[in-house]
Structure 1
């Protein structure tokens, strides 16, 4: 559809600053943010030009949207980018730094003046002492007791004042040096924030009203880059006297960082799990042809590599970039009122959004700002795990069921066990209703020894001979705690990849018919006994009484043709 603009003069022109427009909300994604501003304008009869100047330097021009209420018509929305003076596009933060820099420079100038004053005093004092007795060169200076006393007093005074003045000069030099460092640091910060920001970005609206004094309410929305959020967690567990029935308290944080060129002041923040950069297009599959492999012909001895010439495109500095963002549309007083939904967490078709409970201010700078999304208390059960082949430490693990309405996205977690920091780990992604394991750190009161493996090798069969190797692994575990513990030992049992390789587990005896899917959906302690998990590894759970020491034996055999050599490759 082509929009034909009416040929009539502009009745009024209004210039607004983006930072002065009220912020309705900020929705932060993992790689950008959507800014919504709302404002009211008063129009004259006819066409009115409203220019919103100095929008974010990292604005995505194709994302600009305008909506409104009132008896008027939107004819056109344009994005304009043009060269600008630096003071026109500086953010409030940069302006504060510029003012701070001026204060440093003024202070440095004052200290320099004082230093110069004391330097002049020192010169005058040296001149007075040097020229003493030269006022009447023809007179004969008589040395007597009074003369000697006067000279001593003069030189003592000179020495005392010399030391005082030089100490004061050194003090001023030290202060000036510190201020020079502050000036350099502030200059660097200003230059960093001003980098690549030499363009004035504006949104031009062409609105029409039927009569003078028409008031309309507008909502401006656009996306900006250089903004993101990532989740993090504080996890606190009190073990108490029991290993089950404990509560796991999670503080859910959003870490927001934005350097978009606009400060977000006192705004409603919404954190979204949507990923706009991935797009919404379903990838297409071509035809997969199966054909015989034909090796490519060898390259010639002297292959001449063609030279590719690329033309460098450059945008003229004086050129204005103008995008027509919207076709003409009308809005009137009968337009439906937009409602703001109040929620803590809302699950949409493609994403989940979190609304931060309090309004926040996030300046445009490189620092990270932490906000609290929610706190939750989940039921957890504790058990111990050890993988002695790789690490003989016993790890305390909390099995947790996410009974909250919040999905736990992938993020770093600080673990606190019984009010003491234990470890850092990663959590997520875990959605509502899913079970997850939260590692709580190493417990030194569970001792584990992993003995060297003992192997027996022999030849079997008269006609169809085969090699047989028996592997026996001894593991010694000891509980030095005052309470009994449930400990699961994880150990490799090789998995055959060929029918000629036969593997048999002798000890421990494995429970048949384990439902692994059911185990992953229920919150319960592991059953005492041995099982093979989905990766064909042994999970042997035992109950250790207080001060109990036990020797465990894992024994398996592998049979294979004697002409073959067996190798073991660990795959994840």
Structure 2
């Protein structure tokens, strides 16, 4: 058998598909196949490879018989690639510069210590206490001491300033040294084993032939997340939204993706596609479990029950072993259906193709690429929940009429070229409408008047109490020339007991016409909410009205509750999970 050894790093990556939890890498390389069987060993493949994801195809008159994967421990000299050698050389330079600065700092400290010692020893006598050697005070001595102290002050401050500068430089060099050490250790750790993909091919021709192989495999340590830049130009009925769709790519696979064809996929290869199976759900009357039997202390119960308990884990281990065996068989069987799986992934997910080739290095940073830019028509609507907050929130109603589904992700929103807010976009399919918050509009004022409550009793024999609630809300549109459509959200109590009767007196809710208002409205209809009051699924009043420029309107909301006289009502708000 003819063996050909290749280094994967010598063949650039052709294309990359980034998933939400991994990436699929494709390399292309040409080989010359001798007559008969050939084994191509591709070494130094990415460390975080998914072994079961390896696929090989190609062009040429050859037959692929087997693809194997193996890992071998590497030696230090094998791990030290060109990148490691380059980083090591840079590390030595940093260490040498760091040592020079440490030595210079030591010299400066010695000079300062010498100056301090010279000043400290002034006026001290000799060891034999010879009085003739004691310094006598004179005018010349005073001038000399003054000059000495000035020199000490000037030089000490000058040298200490140099020491502080050196400390800053040493700290920077130490930080750079730590970074280089960390990067070298990461590379060595990723390559502490040598991953080899062996491809066995048969050349049935009598002469050697050239073949081109395409090697595809998945690697961990890579993912992508969407983000958005939303810019809304609010100008009445001609308002528009410019939506920029970004893909934020993170990859630390140990391989740089240089000038590659890039695709971003929403598929999750690690999630199985099998439909969960249901058993039979039965309902029975609850019966408390019988009390445990009282075992006399004289019996060796620990040994008896201990043996039974010991047998159960054995059964679990046998079952687990069988499950693992079947799992391996399933995995092997699935590998032969790779083409079908890819087709299913394309059907069940969305793949975005980045129009230009990109370079994504293997580092801890996020790399942003533009997926698309879309201009969408918007309708502006105002909302207010005055019971909790009298601020009026501007909302853009948008229909995603692009060919790109919008995934859940963060978005920066700009209104008329000014930063407005940051939001989290919800997933939106093509053709589906969504709402985009644009922030608070201070030109629309809402006044929430104090609530008026009335109590009364009715009935002669079976007395019942009645509570009436009146709420007045004033809305003023202070815009000079722009009408608005505003929706007020006000809670209306919902009866939690048949003895509690709630009636909405004002406003009058008209019955739905042509099936509208029953929760079956078209989610793709691009229009503002209809003017007038209605109750939503949570029994909250949504009162929509149109206000012209500089117009003020009053809204009166009144509801009555009737309940038994001997009962006390409590009000609680329950939030429905979305």
Same fold (TM over 0.5): yes
Is the CA contact (8 Å cut-off) linking 1:12 and 1:43 kept in structure 2? no
Please say if 1:528 is aligned against 2:531.
yes
Distance change (3 Å), C-alpha of 1:414 and 1:170: closer
Structure 1 segments of 4+ aligned residues over 6 angstroms from their partners: 90-93, 113-125, 158-170, 300-310
Q: Specify which structure has the higher proportion of helix.
A: 2
Scaled by the length of structure 1, what TM-score is found?
A: 0.79
* 1:74 Cα deviation after fit: 2.0
* 1:402 Cα deviation after fit: 0.9
Is the CA contact (8 Å cut-off) linking 1:54 and 1:89 kept in structure 2? no
* 1:22 Cα deviation after fit: 3.0
Q: Calculate the aligned-residue CA RMSD, in Å.
A: 3.8
Distance change (3 Å), C-alpha of 1:67 and 1:326: farther
Is the CA contact (8 Å cut-off) linking 2:43 and 2:197 kept in structure 1? yes
Is the CA contact (8 Å cut-off) linking 1:93 and 1:364 kept in structure 2? no
Structure 1 CA distance for aligned equivalents of residues 501 and 364 of structure 2: 59
Scaled by the length of structure 2, what TM-score is found?
A: 0.78
* 1:301 Cα deviation after fit: 8.9
Moved more, 81-90 or 368-377: 81-90
Partner residue, 1:540: 543
Distance change (3 Å), C-alpha of 1:82 and 1:456: same
Please say if 1:258 is aligned against 2:251.
yes
Partner residue, 2:201: 207
Is the CA contact (8 Å cut-off) linking 1:235 and 1:416 kept in structure 2? yes
* 1:492 Cα deviation after fit: 1.0
Alignment of 1:44-193 (within 5 A): 44-86=34-76, 88-89=78-79, 97-111=87-101, 174-191=168-185
Is the CA contact (8 Å cut-off) linking 2:397 and 2:435 kept in structure 1? yes
Count of matched residue pairs: 508
* 1:467 Cα deviation after fit: 2.5
Please say if 1:291 is aligned against 2:284.
yes
Alignment equivalent of 1:12, drawn from 3, 26, 29: 3
Moved more, 448-457 or 186-195: 186-195
The superposition leaves residues 30-70 of structure 1 with CA deviations (integer Å, 9 ceiling, x where unpaired) of 11111111111112223322211121221110111111121
Please say if 1:571 is aligned against 2:575.
yes
Structure 2 CA distance for aligned equivalents of residues 534 and 167 of structure 1: 72
Alignment of 1:351-430 (within 5 A): 351-430=349-428
Partner residue, 1:245: 238
Moved more, 436-445 or 274-283: 274-283
Moved more, 300-309 or 437-446: 300-309
Partner residue, 1:130: none
Is the CA contact (8 Å cut-off) linking 2:478 and 2:550 kept in structure 1? yes
Structure 1 CA distance for aligned equivalents of residues 293 and 356 of structure 2: 70
Is the CA contact (8 Å cut-off) linking 2:41 and 2:198 kept in structure 1? yes
Structure 2 CA distance for aligned equivalents of residues 294 and 208 of structure 1: 70
Counterpart of 1:277 in 2: which secondary structure?
coil
The superposition leaves residues 178-225 of structure 1 with CA deviations (integer Å, 9 ceiling, x where unpaired) of 312321233234445655752221211222224453211111111111
Moved more, 91-100 or 372-381: 91-100
Partner residue, 2:138: none
Partner residue, 1:511: 510
Is the CA contact (8 Å cut-off) linking 1:250 and 1:375 kept in structure 2? yes
Alignment equivalent of 2:231, drawn from 216, 236, 245: 236
Alignment of 1:309-324 (within 5 A): none
The superposition leaves residues 473-512 of structure 1 with CA deviations (integer Å, 9 ceiling, x where unpaired) of 2222222221332211011122334443322111112232
Distance change (3 Å), C-alpha of 1:91 and 1:358: farther
Moved more, 53-62 or 447-456: 447-456
Partner residue, 2:560: 557
* 1:447 Cα deviation after fit: 1.8
Distance change (3 Å), C-alpha of 1:91 and 1:551: farther
Counterpart of 1:188 in 2: which secondary structure?
helix
Structure 2 CA distance for aligned equivalents of residues 73 and 118 of structure 1: 74
Is the CA contact (8 Å cut-off) linking 1:233 and 1:250 kept in structure 2? yes
Moved more, 469-478 or 518-527: 518-527
